[in-house]
Amino acid sequence: MEHECSSRRVAAERRERRRAAIFRRDRYRCVYCGQVFADRELTVDHVQPRVKHGDHSAGNLVTACTGCNIRKGGRAAWDYMRDCPEDRKNFLRYAAHAWPRLRRAVEEGSL
């Protein structure tokens, strides 16, 4: 039982380090609305959602404010931004670390 608790703690610490690294990398800026927030108001978003075969790699993770992440929901970024030209422009400006194929999908509106 102790080993299981330790494993969960290690996994939680790893997630928190990854989350903090993504926020620092993106300078605490939501890549969708372009605003800067305190870390407690931010989330880590999967550009390509896990349910659509996205992974936890840094190239698929971006900083999003809570409001934008809720609006995006489980949609892929390119689906969400198809009707949000300002968010699309911000994403292409601020999500420089997203995988090139994901950035192309946003530019083209599909993957």
For residue range 19-47, what is the model confidence (pLDDT) as tens digits? 999 999 999 999 999 999 999 999 999 99
Q: DSSP state, 27? A: T
Check pLDDT > 70 for residue 2.
no
Question: Could you tell me the pTM of the whole model?
Answer: 0.88
Confidence label for 4 from pLDDT (cuts 50, 70 and 90) = low
Q: Give the gyration radius of the chain's Cα atoms.
A: 15
Domain coordinates in residue numbering, the chain? 2-108
Closest by CA to 52, choosing from 105, 13, 7, 107, is 105
How many Å apart are CA 5 and CA 19, to the nearest integer? 21
Closest by CA to 37, choosing from 69, 84, 13, is 69
Check pLDDT > 80 for residue 111.
no
Q: What is the DSSP string of 38-84?
A: -GGGEEEEESS-GGGT--SSGGGEEEEEHHHHHHHTTS-HHHHHTT-
For residue range 81-90, what is the model confidence (pLDDT) as tens digits? 988 899 999 9
Q: Which fold has domain 2-108?
A: DNA Binding (I), subunit A (1.10.30)
